[in-house]
Structure 1
Amino acid sequence: MNDQDTPSKRRRREHSPMFKRELVARSLVPGASVAAVALQAGINSNLLFAWRRMHLSTQEQPQTPAPPQPSPMLLPVTIEAAPVAPCPSPTAAAPRQPGGTIEIDVGGARVRLRGAVDEASVRHVLQTLKALA
């Protein structure tokens, strides 16, 4: 069988370098659509993108040297001991005086308060008992 006899065997189309250059140039025009250029030429846009990549890679890119970056500079550091203020020694808590006992009879109830008792606590207890009576 010949290659021409079998319809399933397709030959790859070969495009001339001039055709490729023309399409690449048209696709590189600012505002041009690569897909539209490829469609007008009857080729796949992926093929035109590949030609563009090849064209752009062979173009000489002007090598502008990068501005020199300043190298990091290390500065000497001197650590000085800061004067430490002496910590105040904990003051001993004022010794508690031995507390006595307070007994209160209110409304048939007897309340005994032992030790140091503050005024607010006594007031609270008395108000509660008064409310319950």
Structure 2
Amino acid sequence: MHIMNDRVTGGARGRREHSPELKRELVARSLLPGASVSAIALDAGINANLLFTWRRARRNSAGQTPGPSTPVLLPVSIEAPQEVDVVAPTPAPPAGRPATGTIEIDIGGSRVRLRGVVDDATVRCVLQSLRGAA
């Protein structure tokens, strides 16, 4: 744990004034890759917002423009989705309903596609089968 008593001076209004060395040290630690500003501030006994203010002041004094830090590219892998085709039996369509159609359901990283005339009983049966397979 960091002890700040020797690095903090009392101000005229009773506010703590942190030494420039402490500010530089904490800002430098917070700028390391993977560093947690909140953890560093907690360890030093200060509010994380204060450390963010010091970081912003350092950036502005260095002539850097405010904005997001340098972007970091992360590795990405793409996997082919699993598809299950279910061809529903084709009962005669009720009057006023279209004769064909497709229903796609994305569930658990898989896609279920129902083609043709699909009635309530068929959808219910497919969903119950999926529930049983999970």
TM-score by length of 1: 0.37
- Specify the structure having the higher radius of gyration (Cα): 1
Q: Is the strand fraction higher in 1 or 2?
A: 2
Query: Higher RCO, 1 or 2 (CA under 8 Å, sep at least 6)?
Result: 2
Give the alignment's TM-score, normalised by structure 2: 0.37
